[in-house]
Chain A
Amino acid sequence: MEFLLENILNLVGFLVGLAIGIMSLIGFRNTGSPTLFRLTIAFFSISIGFFVIWTGYMLEDFLIKSGNIERWIQTLGIIIQTVGYFFIAFSHSIKSFFPKSRYFRSIGIFPLFLVSSVQIEHIFRSVSFILLAYGAIETTLSYFENKNKGAISVAVGLALLAFGEFLGWYSFVFPESILYSVSLVIKIVGLIALFVPVSKIPLTKIKFDDDFE
């Protein structure tokens, strides 16, 4: 298997995203909270994004065998993940992120038609980095307010994902170096840190909706 680290990362990302997404969905269906609805969209998007890339690597490993993953699959997966990171950041009231002027809104999407798919991938990676860094900072600030230890683990997880995203982007400068592998390992650790506090939530005591069981 040529892409072992990539496969591990994307499989872990898919499973962690799916587990947290299901947990959020159960929470939304039991409480009707809009925050939990946004988290459901966020983590299902992240999960689907990792799954798309994982499928791409598996197809490459076992069917295509060209030595590199199809670029458009990687780009599609990253775009879907970015949507998920956006909803995490949006849950922290990221309202100021949108350009207010109608002029900026109209030209905001225009550059996407002028760049290649590789550049689109880089754009979405950098957007992911910003959203993850924002989420990590907001979660850290919330820890200082309510001293919830789980928030620290989530903040570290988001920060590691952001750092991994940054190193992954930076590794294009040094393509043959160890940077890319390090970035994958950091992202795997980040996903595990994200899952740790969620795994401690005692779901067994809750009586779920009848049609959910």
Chain B
Amino acid sequence: MVEYRTHMKIIGDILSTTRDDLQDEEGATVTYLIRKANISHSRISRILKTLVSQGLLEQVDTQGSNKYRISQSGREFLQAYYTFTTFADNFGLTI
């Protein structure tokens, strides 16, 4: 059965990939994030732009390509996200 993911869960997946599952220290490429977070290019571009503008991700320019890594605010957001996912799970809900 296909699992429906909320916008919040997709953001959680992207942030956790950039925190726990990086290709190298410089960050993750868009292609890598697309594969790991299982999301289309157009959609992830919009989300990455928002996450960078909100300060949750840092954009690193390396050898002509953009890479993304999690910021300190992003780590704190991810921690809150996991905590309140458990909270919402108790009510049978998804945040």
Smallest Cβ-Cβ distance to B92: which chain A residue: A142
Which residues does A use to contact B, with CB under 8 Å?
23-24, 27, 30-33, 35-36, 39, 88, 91-92, 138-143, 146, 148, 150-151, 153-155, 197-198, 201-203, 205-207
Which residues does B use to contact A, with CB under 8 Å?
8, 76-77, 79-81, 83-84, 86-95
Check A36/B89 contact, CB under 8 A, given A205-B79, A207-B76.
Answer: no
Partner of B90, one of A33, A91, A197: A197
Check A201/B87 contact, CB under 8 A, given A30-B77, A30-B80.
Answer: yes
CB distance from A148 to the nearest CB of B (A): 5
How many contacts A-B (CB < 8 Å)?
Answer: 79
CB distance from A209 to the nearest CB of B (A): 10
Some 7 contacts from A to B, beta carbons below 8 A apart, are A30-B77, A31-B77, A142-B93, A151-B91, A201-B86, A201-B87, A207-B76
In terms of DSSP, what is the predominant structure of the interface of chain B?
helix
A197 contact set on B, CB distance < 8 A: 90
**Contact yes or no, B87 A23, CB < 8 A:** yes
In terms of DSSP, what is the predominant structure of the interface of chain A?
helix
B89 contact set on A, CB distance < 8 A: 142, 146, 148, 150-151
Complex formed: what's the CA distance from A202 to B84 in Å?
10
Across the A-B interface, give the 10 residue pairs with the lowest CB-CB distance, nearest first.
Answer: A142-B92, A150-B90, A139-B92, A27-B84, A33-B95, A30-B80, A197-B90, A148-B89, A35-B95, A35-B93
CB distance from A26 to the nearest CB of B (A): 8
Smallest Cβ-Cβ distance to A88: which chain B residue: B91
**Contact yes or no, A154 B91, CB < 8 A:** yes
Complex formed: what's the CA distance from A130 to B6 in Å?
27
Complex formed: what's the CA distance from A30 to B81 in Å?
8
